Copies of this chain bind each other. A is one copy, B any other.
């Protein structure tokens, strides 16, 4: 096969994918240079999108008071979620570091625009959810670009979408997809944090690959301690 990427370039991409981490520990007070942020956002903006809709937006959140209020939502949600675990696991859950909302250099909310357009968006008639999925691809582009810049990203899903809508002034039909903490990390861990601290283990790739038809494996999570 003719290849327009050298072996080294291929390796670089695989390494970025392998070393990307969900970062929760940031070096406080270290700001992101504007050109680094611009490159990372540019990478996100090159994501695939259904019907070339490019339905994402990026809201940069730096205001301390706003971040503190959003973190209050995290704390409320964490309390509610903790109740779902057994006593032993709950203690562990509450000991986990799950966000860096206030310590990170900035927060970044990736949103998706679901508002009706004058003309239908190609590809969304039978799968309207594809708009949200495009925004997720943008998140992953952003995450990988950040990684090669030495910038950490942490996705906070323990937060109320309603609070994000209010705090960021999202109009009806514009929905938050990802609330990200972005900044220089204390370190990029060798393994994912939830694997390193024994919360959950890596699933073997082979268990996720199926030929022609889905063979019913164990339900995911059933093999978890």
What is the CB-to-nearest-CB distance from A19 to chain B, in angstroms, rounded to a whole number?
8
A111 contacts chain B at the CB level, 8 A cutoff? yes
Say yes or no: B214 contacts A48, CB within 8 Å.
no
Q: How far is the CA of A213 from the CA of B160 in the complex (A)?
A: 17
Q: How far is the CA of A113 from the CA of B9 in the complex (A)?
A: 33
Contact of A199 among B19, B52, B168 (CB under 8 A): B52
A53 contacts chain B at the CB level, 8 A cutoff? yes
Q: Knowing A13-B148, A158-B125, A159-B126 touch, does A205 contact B45 (C-beta < 8 A)?
A: yes
- By beta carbon, the residue of chain B nearest A50 is B157
Interface positions of A from 196 to 218, Cβ below 8 Å from B:
199-200, 202-203, 205, 208-214, 216
Q: How far is the CA of A137 from the CA of B217 in the complex (A)?
A: 22
Say yes or no: B41 contacts A209, CB within 8 Å.
yes
Q: How far is the CA of A202 from the CA of B12 in the complex (A)?
A: 28
Q: How far is the CA of A221 from the CA of B56 in the complex (A)?
A: 12
Contact of A145 among B17, B85, B132 (CB under 8 A): B17
Say yes or no: B137 contacts A52, CB within 8 Å.
no
A95 contacts chain B at the CB level, 8 A cutoff? no
A68 contacts chain B at the CB level, 8 A cutoff? no
- By beta carbon, the residue of chain B nearest A155 is B48
Say yes or no: A57 contacts B216, CB within 8 Å.
no
A10 contacts chain B at the CB level, 8 A cutoff? yes
Contact of A56 among B63, B98, B123, B208 (CB under 8 A): B208
Please give, as numbers and ranges, the residues of chain B lying within 8 Å of A118 by CB-CB distance: 219, 221-222, 224
Q: How far is the CA of A16 from the CA of B171 in the complex (A)?
A: 34
Contact of A59 among B12, B129, B212 (CB under 8 A): B212
A121 contacts chain B at the CB level, 8 A cutoff? yes
A18 contacts chain B at the CB level, 8 A cutoff? yes
Q: Knowing A14-B43, A59-B214 touch, does A121 contact B9 (C-beta < 8 A)?
A: no
A selection of 26 A-B contacts at a CB cut-off of 8 Å is A5-B148, A17-B145, A41-B205, A47-B140, A48-B143, A51-B200, A52-B192, A52-B199, A54-B203, A58-B208, A59-B213, A63-B212, A85-B120, A86-B119, A117-B219, A117-B221, A118-B222, A121-B221, A126-B158, A127-B158, A127-B159, A132-B136, A133-B136, A133-B177, A168-B213, A171-B216
